[in-house]
Amino acid sequence: MSRFFSNRLSSLVPYIPGEQPKDTKYIKLNTNESPFKPTQKVAKAVEKQAGLLQLYCDPECSDLVIKMSEVFGVGKENILMTNGSDEALNFAFMAFCGEETSIVFPDITYGFYPVFAELNNIKFEQIPLKDNFSICVDDYISVNKNIVIANPNAPTGIYLSLHEIEKIVVSNPDNVVIIDEAYIDFSGESAVKLTNKYDNLLVVGTFSKSRCMAGARLGFAIGNEKLINDLNTIKYSTNPYNVNRLTQSAGLAVLEENEYYMEKCREICNNREWTKSELKKLGFCMTDSTANFIFVSHGKIGGEDLYFALKNRGILVRHFSSEKIKNYNRITIGTKEQMEILIKTIKNILSKH
């Protein structure tokens, strides 16, 4: 820390992203990316924009927002596009929380929430998950604080039904409820359809997982026009050109072939169910994940040991060292071929353990 770093931030502990090794020899199952490439149409769209990089991009992402409105069935005024959904989340923390309005979220969830709270000087409270790692909905009824819930949750993959989400939203009418739907395309119903009914519901989504665009950084928020206006106030006070030209064109091209990407999500869900059943045969315990990852532990090998054993054999998964989940690993679901190699490798590790 330099002697100039603000006192206010001196205890800030930044988010630690999953490893992104430079050598590509690993089977990379550690950051929930898609194993599939975007289509040629995306590459062509980006190439066309590459010749226009001397010009600023459209700060309103107009073409993209028109297509979003069609695909998601909401008004253009209900959408904000962002530089990854991390930015949408940060904007929401900045816009709706403060000294007097704190925020609550589960104790085991996306690791960025406490960081956004610390960064913006926001008080927060972490509500413990139940012993089976599911969210206790009653804990969020009438809490009188802002709420952020990842649905399905990370790293557990457990999904709360739309009915349960609605109960939380209805019971906290004077607070903003943020539903982070990074993995919803692999799961159940999206809360987007409730946004025209509740002015305190903000749904955040991303193109990073289900739409094969993690490297392009594209996310969005959907909600009541007034909420979106507030987020725009933050955006135009920090970075009006938050979504660059290349990413806007890539996002539009992806949405023009949305059905292809949704089909790829179904393929990943099939691979997930196959992987789950294979791992169960090998004695693994796991949560009922509906996302593009699974969260698994084994009675005979510790979480960290399995992580290193896999890494030594060329497979990267994500291990979290926090006490409650240190016996688990989060494994991204890849192609069927990658999953077959994973299972073979794990069999090999278990036989030698």
Ligand X SMILES: *Cc1c(COP(=O)(O)O)cnc(C)c1O
Q: Which residues contact 211 (CB under 8 A, 6 or more apart)?
A: 34, 38, 185, 218, 251, 254, 261
Cβ contact 176:204 at 8 Å: no
| CA atoms of 254 and 207, how far apart (whole Å) | 9
Q: Is residue 114 within the footprint of ligand X (CB under 6 A)?
A: no
Q: Is residue 85 within the footprint of ligand X (CB under 6 A)?
A: yes
Phi, psi values for residue 105, rounded to 5° = -160, 165
For residue 77, give both structure tokens. Answer: 């005024």
Rounded to a whole number of angstroms, the minimum distance from the CB of residue 57 to ligand X is: 18
Q: Is residue 84 within the footprint of ligand X (CB under 6 A)?
A: yes
Rounded to a whole number of angstroms, the minimum distance from the CB of residue 115 to ligand X is: 12
CB atoms within 10 A of CB 325: 19
Footprint (CB under 6 A) of ligand X, residues 32-51: 32
Rounded to a whole number of angstroms, the minimum distance from the CB of residue 209 to ligand X is: 6
Q: Is residue 214 within the footprint of ligand X (CB under 6 A)?
A: yes
Q: Exposed, middle or buried by CB within 10 Å (0-12, 13-18, 19+), for 47?
A: exposed
Q: Which region among 51-59, 82-90, 234-242, 318-326 touches ligand X (by CB under 6 A)?
A: 82-90
Q: Is residue 150 within the footprint of ligand X (CB under 6 A)?
A: yes
Cα–Cα separations (whole angstroms), residue 241 to 14, 248, 299, 318: 24, 11, 50, 33
Cβ contact 343:328 at 8 Å: no
User: Number of residues in contact with ligand X, rule: CB under 6 A?
Assistant: 13
Q: Which is nearer to ligand X, 261 or 349 (CB)?
A: 261
Q: Which region among 6-14, 78-86, 184-192, 260-268 touches ligand X (by CB under 6 A)?
A: 78-86
Q: Which is nearer to ligand X, 78 or 292 (CB)?
A: 292
Q: Is residue 180 within the footprint of ligand X (CB under 6 A)?
A: yes
Q: Is residue 182 within the footprint of ligand X (CB under 6 A)?
A: yes
- Residue with nearest beta carbon to ligand X: 84
Q: Which is nearer to ligand X, 211 or 298 (CB)?
A: 211
| CA atoms of 224 and 81, how far apart (whole Å) | 14
Residues linked to residue 126 through DSSP beta bridges, in sequence order: 105
Binding test (CB under 6 A) with ligand X, winner from 143, 154, 306, 333: 154
Q: Which is nearer to ligand X, 122 or 309 (CB)?
A: 122
For residue 14, give both structure tokens. Answer: 């930044």
Rounded to a whole number of angstroms, the minimum distance from the CB of residue 86 to ligand X is: 4
Provide the strand spans (E) within the chain: 27-28, 79-82, 103-106, 124-127, 146-150, 177-180, 201-206, 219-223, 284-286, 293-298, 315-316, 318-319, 329-332
Cβ contact 161:168 at 8 Å: no
Q: Which region among 83-91, 317-325, 335-343, 345-353 touches ligand X (by CB under 6 A)?
A: 83-91
Q: Which region among 51-59, 79-87, 115-123, 233-241 touches ligand X (by CB under 6 A)?
A: 79-87
Binding test (CB under 6 A) with ligand X, winner from 72, 91, 93, 110: 110
Q: Which is nearer to ligand X, 84 or 334 (CB)?
A: 84
Residues linked to residue 201 through DSSP beta bridges, in sequence order: 177
Q: Which is nearer to ligand X, 85 or 249 (CB)?
A: 85
Footprint (CB under 6 A) of ligand X, residues 190-209: 206, 208
- What one-character DSSP code corresponds to residue 19? P
Residue numbers at the binding site for ligand X (CB under 6 A):
32, 84-86, 110, 150, 154, 180, 182, 206, 208, 214, 219
